[in-house]
Structure 1
Amino acid sequence: MSIQNKHFLNDPSSLVLDSLRGLCAINPKLVLDEKNKSGFLPLEFSRNESKRRLWLVVYLGTHDRSKVALLCGGGSGHEPAHAGFVGEGILTGAVCGSVFASPNASQVRRGIELIESEKGTVIIVKNYTGDVLNFGLAKEQYASLHPEQANQVKFVIVGDDVAVGKTQGSIVGRRGLAGTVLVYKIAGALASRGESLEKVYNIAQWVASNVATIGVGLDHCHVPGTAKSSSHLQDSEIEIGMGIHNESGNRRLHPNPPLNELIPELLDLLTSTTDPERSFLPFQGQEKLDETTPTQSLLLSLLDEQADAPGWKWSSHVAPSAKPQLAKPAPQIIRRAFEAPLKAADPASFKASIERACSAVIGAEPEITRMDTIAGDAVLKKLSQNTISGEDLVGSVIAIAQVAEETMGGTSGALYSIFFFALAQGLQSQPNIGIFTKNTVWCNALTYALNQLYTYTRARPPSRTLVDPLAAFIEAFAQNSGADPVEALNAAVSAAERTRDIEAKAGRSAYVEGNRLKQERVADPGAWGVKTILESLLN
């Protein structure tokens, strides 16, 4: 799997600064402290290159200083964390380092000073060595410089990743991942309610100790401005528990499993109480509740409480349902009954023609598209159910139109569906007919359907679309009043073949690689599908 080495940015060294300036520009409640950023310090992006290392503070300028303040931070590159969660009802400030690089203690201390409040401050960081050391050092520096505030700053470390087992992570503990955001939200809602420093800290600490997450990586991430590198994962391989800085995970799976197999495996890693390496949390009735344990109703209410931050914009406020609510199935379109349905002169021959067309479309799948295969299967199913038969031509044409609408999708499905519905209208008032036996009737109905199709598409021959062979067939068929269907078929085949040499004027090819398709003489798939259907109907 290739690593993305192209990026939309001004310069790697200003990436974080540019991003935070944009964040604050669209959110006037936020303030960016960039005057105190560091100068040039070495940061190894590649063996022989160093870039400017920046530490910046984003904080809520409208913070109520009579309430507990919350500060977070760490290396950038994990957006919307950390600055994206700064806002009313959640975080008060965030200290942002360069991509994957922790801010230094001086800048963190600056962040503490910018948001300090009468009730104190809770610092929340992910369990990574650089973050813990630098934010911890800043806390101690602040306490030394402001001894009267020494007990007013609390420190919470979040380690929620269950990918690394207890033996391997015995000293460093679990890594910090997305569970940190839940700590932000619950602590922020408590602070917004005006709760004490001790309560905000204690519940934040409880949540940090009782949250578990697991992630899956498709590929390792790439820092803009670094030397190009290759992936350690194969194209069809994923890694459970890959760290947010490309650290090794739990294991790799090959080939990529479907989600309905992957999710249960991830849930087992989170909730297992029998795995000695990963039974981190007391699930399945093993909770040891005491007076310091927050109630479920309190935690849910804190999560649901309104917050105003780019990274947390919506809460459902209701428990998830076991099954999603589904709309009732739409009733089938019922055609108005006439005195007598149109009947083919030879119903068996009519059905056989439709079956040949469907089978031919399926057989030509590599040259057309998988959508046509699905449609062919659906029509064959309706034939087997006798929904499409020679006993009711108009009803059969409508059934084919419904298949095109429901199973093909995209532009081709809409065009086919419009054409067949219009063809049904053209046949509505006709006497009993057979397939291409009373050809004048079919000429009129087909011409009517083509004109109706032209109402909804600007494609006109030659356009390198399915309209080319369709129009060629109908126009040739009408010119000789249906006397020679084979001549009309030949006109359609020629029109489909000519799409190899036509510059696209309509359809998807008009926007993407139209010249290349012409140079390589690639026929239009839609036109080829019409050719295949007509050949099968008339041979």
Structure 2
Amino acid sequence: MAKHFVNDPSSLVVQSLQGLCAINPKLGLDVNNKVVFLADQDRSRVGLICGGGSGHEPSHAGFVGQGMLSAAVCGNIFASPGPTQVRRAIELVDNDKGTLIIVKNYTGDVLNFGLARERFAAQHPSKVDKVKFLVVGDDVAVGKTQGGIVGRRGLAGTVLVYKIAGALAETGAGLDEVYSVAEWVSQNIATIGVGLEHCHVPGTMAGEAHLTSSEIEIGMGIHNEAGVQRVSPVPPLSRLVQTLLDLLLSQSDPERGFLSIQGSGKDNAVLLVNNLGGVSELELAGIAREAITALSARGVRVLRVISGTFMTSLNMPGFSLTLLLLPSSSSTAAPPEDVILHLLDASTSAPGWKWTSCAPPSELPPPPAPLISERAADNALKVRAQDVQGFVLAVERACNALDKAEPEITRMDTISGDGDCGLTLQTGANAVLARLRAGSIGGEDIIGALIAVSEVAAEKMGGTSGALYSIFFSALAQALSTSSAGVVAVHDWSRAVSAAREQLYTYTRARPPSRTLVDPLAAFSDTFTANPSGLRSAVKKAAEAAEATRDVEARVGRSAYVEAGLLKRERVPDPGAWGVKVLLEALAGAGST
């Protein structure tokens, strides 16, 4: 995405910080130095300062709050703040117990924050031991050999250092203790990121895509740095997570092994699932689930899961996984496990810190027992198709046709709706196909088959389309169940289609021409009812009605909310109507079965 909501890119950082402070009156802002700080400093507590380039929100300013950070110094987008800015932050949080500066391992941050500390110490020799400096590097993308001199980059794991150190400072702990615990945490975290594409910096020209539509990049930095590995095609999430965990946990790779994993179920950890900026909450929860499951299978017990947006790369569509390996019971040099967890769970007023359960994740529930089909609830007369095998082939052909048509229907719906119609129909078709192959849908029991299709539409498709299809197929089954014959003839289908159409009308206001799936369905029903032996003619009328939706004004459905001029210019058919066309044409290939 190369478009942004800004007044002027050059003023974006300051205006963002002003907005943050307006939202949270407990924060103060030094505009000239772009320093966000606690307005009411507790001088009896150790002060914590962090910072770096902007574009990583809520890092860094979003973590200023009681129980976390005292101040954050913000540079321009992806650019380190200067030493004068940092020096101002040190002065703002100056206190009786001392100050800890925590920075990510990037050259600019280390140099500028370090220079500010040295200048402050030079002017205040009595406080030379009152300002400590901690550099955090948690990225495992770069191996030990390549990163031998510069060390690992600082990524989202740094936020865990902020939280634990800030909570400890809130208890009144001294500077040496806060520094010692923060240092231990920094040495026991590991992070790996992955992205679908790089981000775009406001005010810069929109460049070409870095990755193709079939590629992902593993090991991307948070400043648009390229990753260490490109993978194509995009793997399923389950396989991708396994690849990321290999990099985090490997003990056999001489370039990895940043965490001292004991194995055999002896390891406890905190998992941080971080949104790099452009991942939906829907996907992020799925990523968390996959990571928890995969870690459990590897014998790593996750005692806390923290999921959300913590350290971004502007709008990058990607995420990172961080593991904080908790100390073992036999470790004497580390803070106790329960202390680390208590500090993580401690409350904070920092707006960027997300809600957490303060408990281990629950076990994933077992899959629900299969629903008893509505068909099994009664002893209605079974009716079969005239051509049992032909019925099966017709259903299979229709499912395959909808699956194949997904890209085109999705394209149509992207213009005229919300973009999900193709996927919804594909999901329903594949679910019906699965039941067909499992033998739960067949031509020996037409009513049972129609009820099964109705269930699939309601449970798997969902939304408006799913409800409409479910109502129609359920009504179709009702109409056929009144037949006393054991075989469904053509005139039975004709009568049932007409009855189902009328039943559907009781639940929707759409009437042809309406630019909805009702248009081809009504055309099919009218023609088939008038001439039951003319199935192909009825299908042709339905196809013509679907084509005609290109020029029909949207009255109902999601297209009614789309700007009318766009629909006229694009002349795109209604995607729902097109789905009915595809379905009926595929069924017609099996004759009058």
TM-score interval, smaller chain: 0.7 to 0.9
2:548 is equivalent to residue 495 of structure 1: no
Q: What is the correspondence of 1:47-86 to structure 2 with a 5 Å cutoff?
A: 55-86=33-64
1:207 aligned partner, one-letter code: V
Kept after mapping to 1: 8 A contact 2:401/2:582: no
1:159 aligned residue (112, 137, 145): 137
1 CA distance for matches of 2:141 and 2:97? 37
Structure 1 equivalent of residue 9 of structure 2: 12
1 CA distance for matches of 2:528 and 2:228? 67
Q: What is the correspondence of 1:53-202 to structure 2 with a 5 Å cutoff?
A: 55-202=33-180
1:362 aligned residue (377, 400, 408): 400
1:435 aligned partner, one-letter code: V
Structure 2 equivalent of residue 43 of structure 1: none
1 CA distance for matches of 2:526 and 2:103? 73
1:215 match: secondary structure: strand
Structure 2 equivalent of residue 404 of structure 1: 457
Q: CA separation of 1:269/1:522 partners in 2, compared to 1, >3 Å: closer, same or farther?
A: closer
Kept after mapping to 1: 8 A contact 2:458/2:470: yes
Structure 2 equivalent of residue 450 of structure 1: 501
2:90 aligned partner, one-letter code: I
Structure 2 equivalent of residue 46 of structure 1: none
Q: How far apart are residue 231 of structure 1 and its match?
A: 4.9
2 CA distance for matches of 1:236 and 1:396? 38
Q: How far apart are residue 115 of structure 1 and its match?
A: 1.9
TM-score by length of 2: 0.76
Structure 2 equivalent of residue 325 of structure 1: 365
Amino-acid identity (%): 54
Q: CA separation of 1:135/1:461 partners in 2, compared to 1, >3 Å: closer, same or farther?
A: same
2:26 aligned residue (26, 29, 54): 29
Report the more deviating stretch, 427-436 or 16-25. 427-436
Q: CA separation of 1:425/1:64 partners in 2, compared to 1, >3 Å: closer, same or farther?
A: farther
2:29 match: secondary structure: strand
Kept after mapping to 2: 8 A contact 1:303/1:315: no
Kept after mapping to 1: 8 A contact 2:517/2:576: no
Q: How far apart are residue 491 of structure 1 and its match?
A: 4.3
1:214 match: secondary structure: strand
2:317 is equivalent to residue 264 of structure 1: no
1 CA distance for matches of 2:107 and 2:378? 80
1:450 match: secondary structure: helix
2 CA distance for matches of 1:144 and 1:467? 79
2:87 match: secondary structure: helix
Q: Which has the larger radius of gyration?
A: 1
1:213 match: secondary structure: strand
Kept after mapping to 2: 8 A contact 1:468/1:527: no
Kept after mapping to 2: 8 A contact 1:59/1:94: yes
**Runs of 5+ unmatched residues, structure 2:** 268-326, 410-421
TM-score by length of 1: 0.83
Q: CA separation of 1:297/1:180 partners in 2, compared to 1, >3 Å: closer, same or farther?
A: same
Report the more deviating stretch, 71-80 or 352-361. 352-361
1 CA distance for matches of 2:76 and 2:430? 55
Q: CA separation of 1:235/1:395 partners in 2, compared to 1, >3 Å: closer, same or farther?
A: closer
Report the more deviating stretch, 88-97 or 168-177. 168-177
Q: How far apart are residue 27 of structure 1 and its match?
A: 1.5
2:592 aligned partner, one-letter code: L
Q: CA separation of 1:266/1:361 partners in 2, compared to 1, >3 Å: closer, same or farther?
A: closer
What do the CA deviations read for 1:74-94 (whole angstroms, capped 9, x no partner)?
A: 111111110111112211110
Q: How far apart are residue 421 of structure 1 and its match?
A: 1.5
Q: CA separation of 1:290/1:230 partners in 2, compared to 1, >3 Å: closer, same or farther?
A: same
Q: CA RMSD in A?
A: 3.3
Report the more deviating stretch, 482-491 or 138-147. 482-491
1 CA distance for matches of 2:95 and 2:122? 17
Structure 2 equivalent of residue 353 of structure 1: 391
2:415 is equivalent to residue 415 of structure 1: no
Kept after mapping to 2: 8 A contact 1:91/1:184: yes
Q: How far apart are residue 330 of structure 1 and its match?
A: 5.2
Report the more deviating stretch, 257-266 or 507-516. 507-516
2 CA distance for matches of 1:522 and 1:337? 36
1 CA distance for matches of 2:254 and 2:18? 47
Q: What is the correspondence of 1:205-220 to structure 2 with a 5 Å cutoff?
A: 205-220=183-198
2:361 aligned partner, one-letter code: P
2:517 aligned residue (456, 460, 466): 466
Q: How far apart are residue 13 of structure 1 and its match?
A: 0.8
2 CA distance for matches of 1:391 and 1:199? 76
Aligned residues: 511
2:348 is equivalent to residue 307 of structure 1: yes
Q: How far apart are residue 284 of structure 1 and its match?
A: 2.6
Q: CA separation of 1:268/1:424 partners in 2, compared to 1, >3 Å: closer, same or farther?
A: closer
Kept after mapping to 2: 8 A contact 1:468/1:495: yes
1 CA distance for matches of 2:18 and 2:585? 58
2:51 match: secondary structure: strand
Q: CA separation of 1:521/1:459 partners in 2, compared to 1, >3 Å: closer, same or farther?
A: closer
Report the more deviating stretch, 114-123 or 273-282. 273-282
Q: CA separation of 1:107/1:458 partners in 2, compared to 1, >3 Å: closer, same or farther?
A: same
Kept after mapping to 1: 8 A contact 2:374/2:451: no
Higher strand share goes to which structure? 2
1 CA distance for matches of 2:446 and 2:544? 29
2:76 match: secondary structure: strand
Q: CA separation of 1:147/1:504 partners in 2, compared to 1, >3 Å: closer, same or farther?
A: same
1:283 match: secondary structure: coil
Kept after mapping to 1: 8 A contact 2:28/2:37: yes
